[in-house]
């Protein structure tokens, strides 16, 4: 397995509210925080910290129920950040996306997801978005009310339907799929997927080797405007992952 992660403040913002978790070879996550002043940074960082602590069983207990542990870790991370936001007026209204990937090492992948950060799978020159954005615009698109091009340019693109830390309960999506040699997994914040259409991401992955592709994804996001913080984690699946 090869892993590369990158995060960049972008061309417009003064602070980076994205946080990354990279625990090779099994646990990876992107969190994209929101909130006034530094609250977005606190939300993404604290949520990842609580999430990682709550996934302890994945590393130390061979026969645990992975889906149950992931759902529980999301619930605990949500609660942790929700309580912080309630207790401190400077953190009021803060929240974060969380998209996490767990690779137990048996050629399977588990993803858990809330918000509009994304997990993509690039396989046989085809890019698929595994996660579904919990956003107003993604719902309009799913209902056939707008086209994908209208979705990409929609003014309410960043309106989330749920995030961690905002409400007491969350509904976490879980995905489970088999890995194949040559797969590339891409976790990213919307600072990347808002700047690059799926077709552009696929072209970059097709045209460059693994290391150069990560750099090119970041640079193209910046060239296209870099309107938000940009984060990505790329994982190349090799033999015996
Ligand atoms: Ca963002």
Distance 95 CA to ligand 1 centre (A): 11
pLDDT for the residue 63: 84
| d(C-alpha 17, C-alpha 35), whole Å | 9
pLDDT at 166 over 80: yes
Distance 18 CA to ligand 1 centre (A): 7
Distance 54 CA to ligand 1 centre (A): 24
Distance 149 CA to ligand 1 centre (A): 19
How confident is the model over 11-62, as pLDDT tens digits?
Answer: 999 999 999 999 999 999 999 999 987 899 999 999 999 999 999 988 888 7
How confident is the model over 226-235, as pLDDT tens digits?
Answer: 999 999 999 9
Residue among 205, 176, 11 nearest 100 (CA): 176
Question: pLDDT-derived band of residue 240, with 50, 70 and 90 as boundaries?
Answer: low
pTM of the model: 0.97
Distance 230 CA to ligand 1 centre (A): 7
Q: Can you name the residues that pair with 175 across neighbouring β-strands?
A: 111
Distance 221 CA to ligand 1 centre (A): 13
Handedness of CA 191, 192, 193, 194 (dihedral sign): positive
Distance 36 CA to ligand 1 centre (A): 13
pLDDT for the residue 84: 97
pLDDT for the residue 173: 98
């Amino acid at each position: 397995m090869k892993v590369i992660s990158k995060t960049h403040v972008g061309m417009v913002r003064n602070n980076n509210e994205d946080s990354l978790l990279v625990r090779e070879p099994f646990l990876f996550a992107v969190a994209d925080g929101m909130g006034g002043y530094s609250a977005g940074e606190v939300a993404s960082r604290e949520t990842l910290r609580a999430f990682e602590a709550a996934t302890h069983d994945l590393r130390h207990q061979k026969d645990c129920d992975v889906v149950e542990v992931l759902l529980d870790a999301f619930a605990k991370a949500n609660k942790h950040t929700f309580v912080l936001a309630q207790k401190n007026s400077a953190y009021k209204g803060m929240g974060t996306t969380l998209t996490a990937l767990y690779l137990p090492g048996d050629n399977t992948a588990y993803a858990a997801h809330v918000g509009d950060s994304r997990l993509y799978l690039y396989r046989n020159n085809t890019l698929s978005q595994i996660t579904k954005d919990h956003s107003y615009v993604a719902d309009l698109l799913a209902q056939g009310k707008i086209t994908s091009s209208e979705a990409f340019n929609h003014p309410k693109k960043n309106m989330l339907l749920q995030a961690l830390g905002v409400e007491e309960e969350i509904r976490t999506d879980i995905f489970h799929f088999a890995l194949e040699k040559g797969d590339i997994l891409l976790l990213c914040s919307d600072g990347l997927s808002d700047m690059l259409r799926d077709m552009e991401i696929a072209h970059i992955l097709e045209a460059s080797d693994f290391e150069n592709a990560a750099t090119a994804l970041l640079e193209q996001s910046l060239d296209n405007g870099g309107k938000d913080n940009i984060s990505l984690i790329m994982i190349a699946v090799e033999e015996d992952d």
